[in-house]
Amino acid sequence: METFGFAVIAFAVLGFGLISKRVQQTLLTPPMVFVAFGLLVGHAGLGWIEVEVEQIHLLAELTLALVLFTDASRIDLTLLRREHDLPVRLLALGLPLTMILGTIIAAWMFEALTIWEAAVLAIILAPTDAALGQAVVSNPRVPVRIRQALNVESGLNDGIALPILLIFISIAAAKEAPDGDPLGYWLRFTALQVILGPLVGAAVGYVGSRLMERAWQQGWVNDSFLRLSALGLALLSFAAAETVGGNGFISAFVAGLAMGNCARAICPSLYEFGEAEGQLLTLIIFIVFGAAMVPDVLHRIDGLAILYGLLSLTVLRMLPAALSLLGKGLRPGTFVFLGWFGPRGIASILYALLVLSESAIAGQEQILAVVTVTVLMSVFAHGVTAYPGASWYASHAEDMKVADPSCAEHRAVSEMPLRHPHRPAKPRKA
C-alpha cells in the first residue's frame, strides 16, 4: 500500500471519530461505514487504495491473533460454568449443528465443491460477531441473561471453530494434492498444530500473566506498559507456537483464556487496549474487505452464492440455535432474537483469508465469494436492525416480566466485558 493509501485510511478514522457519537444515535454502525468507505476508495471505486495480498495476510494474521486473545480473555470460565447455560448450549450444540447443516446445504448447492470444501465454507461462516450488532449486547433494557448469551457466544465460538477449520482445510488440501502428498501427512501436521498450539498458549498465558500480575502488584510496571505487556503476551504466544510447529492462532486464544482466568486483576488494561488499538485494526480490516475483497469476487457472486448467504444468516443459524436452547423455558420471541442476531463478521473474513493462502484447495474462489457476500449482507442487515431489534425485544422482555416476574429470560447472571463497548460520554462542563 502506498503512502497515499495510508493517508486515506487515517482520514477515514479521523473523520468517523469526529462524528462517532452522532452516528451512534443512528442506524449506522462503524462496520457499515468502513465497508462502504472501502468500496468507495478501493479499486472498484476511486482507486485510492491498492492492497497487496502479502499486506492483507500480514494484517489479517496480526488482527486475528489479537482478536482471539482479547475475546478469550473476557471469558470467566467459572462464571460460564456456573451461570451462563445459554451460551454453553449455543456453543456445545448450536455451533456443531450449524456446521453440519451448513455443510450439507453447501455440498448440495455447489457442485464444484467437494464435501470437505463444503465443510470449510460452513465452518468459516459458523462463528458470530456480536460487535456488528453492538446495540443489542450493550442495550441495558435487554435482559442481562440474553445479551450476555450473545456476547459470550461470540467471544468463544471463533476460537472453538478454528481447530475444526484447520482440520478440514488440511483434509480438503490433501484431497486436491498429488499422490505423493498423502492425507496422512496433512492429518499429522494438523494434529501437531492443534495439540502444540494449546499447550504453548496455556504455558505462555499462565506464566506471562502471573509475571505481569506480580509486577503490577509490586508497583514495578505502569499502566501504559501493562497494556503493552498484554499485547506482547498475545504476540509471544503466537510466535512461540509457530516456532515449535503449533498453530499460533489457537495458542493466542488459549493464552487469552489463561490470562483472563489466572490474572483477572490486570485484564481491564487489556480491555482498554481492545477498545482502541484493537478496534482500529478491526476497522482497517473492514476497509480492506470493502476495498479489495468485495471487488475481487464480484464476478463470482451469483444467485446461488446470495441464496446460501441468506440461508446462512437465517435458517442455518436460527434453526440450530433454537434446537440447542429447547427445554430452557425461553419464549418464541427470544428464540427469534437470539437466532437472528448471530452476525458474521471479522472472524469469517479472517478465516476466509486463511483459506485464500492455501493454494491446494481448488474451490477456494467459490468459498471466498460466498463468505464475502454473506459477510457483506450481514454487516448491513444486522447493523440496520440492531437498534430497532434491541428496542423491540427490550419492550417484549419487559412485557414478559410483567406477566411472569420469574420468566427464564430475566434470570440474574453476572456480566462479562463486551468487545468494543460503547461507553457513555462524560457530561460536559458548563
Of 93, 69, 89, 68, the residue nearest 80 (C-alpha) = 89
What angle separates helix 183-217 from helix 144-176, to the nearest 10 degrees? Answer: 140
CB 8 within 8 A of CB 58: no
Residues present in the chain in total = 430
Interatomic CA distance for residues 94 and 72, integer angstroms? 19
Tell me the C-alpha distance between 414 and 270, whole Å: 20
d(CA 248, CA 241): 5
Q: What is the DSSP letter of 426?
A: P
CATH at 82: 1.20.1530.20
Dihedral sign for Cα 139, 140, 145, 146, please: negative
Give the count of beta carbons closer than 10 Å to the beta carbon of residue 292.
22
C-alpha cell at 372: 464475502
CA distance 87 to 145: 10
- Could you tell me if residue 149 is inside a domain? yes
pLDDT score recorded for residue 178:
53
18 assigned to some structural domain: no
Compute the distance between CA of residue 369 and CA of residue 123 in angstroms, rounded to an integer.
15
Q: Which residue segment(s) compose the domain that 145 sits in?
A: 53-410
Dump the DSSP string for 358-417: -TT-TTHHHHHHHHHHHHHHHHHHHHHHHHHHHHHHHHHHHHHHHH-TT-GGG------P
| Concatenated DSSP letters of 90-107 | IIIIIHHHHHHHHHHHHH
Distance separating alpha carbons of residues 208 and 225, to the nearest angstrom: 14
What is the crossing angle of helices 183-217 and 248-262, to 10°?
30
- Indicate whether 46 belongs to any domain: no
What is the domain count for the chain? Answer: 1
CA nearest neighbour of 10 among 167, 161, 1, 366: 1
- Do the domain assignments include residue 121? yes
Q: From the CB of residue 201, how many other CB atoms can be counted at a distance below 10 Å?
A: 32
Residue 411 and residue 328 in contact, taking contact as beta carbons nearer than 8 Å: no
The whole-number pLDDT of residue 172 equals 82
Neighbour count for residue 134 (Cβ, 10 Å): 22
Q: Mapping DSSP to helix (H, G, I), strand (E, B) and coil, where does residue 333 land?
A: helix
Query: One-letter amino acid identity for 321?
Result: A
Tell me the HSE value of 398 on the side-chain side, using a 13 A CA sphere: 8
Asked whether the beta carbons of 156 and 72 are under 8 A apart, the reply is yes
266 occurs within a structural domain: yes
In a domain, 427, yes or no: no
Q: Do the Cβ atoms of 352 and 285 come closer than 8 Å?
A: no
Residues in Cβ contact with 239 at an 8 Å cutoff, skipping those fewer than 6 apart? 248
| 21 falls within a domain | no
End-to-end CA distance of the chain: 45
**What is the pLDDT at residue 1?**
59
Residue 48 lies in a domain: no
pLDDT at 345: 87
E-assigned strand segments in 276-394: none
pLDDT, averaged in runs of 10, over the chain (430 residues): 80 86 81 91 83 73 85 84 89 96 96 92 93 81 90 88 88 65 65 84 92 86 77 89 88 90 77 69 88 86 94 96 93 93 89 77 88 95 91 90 86 75 42
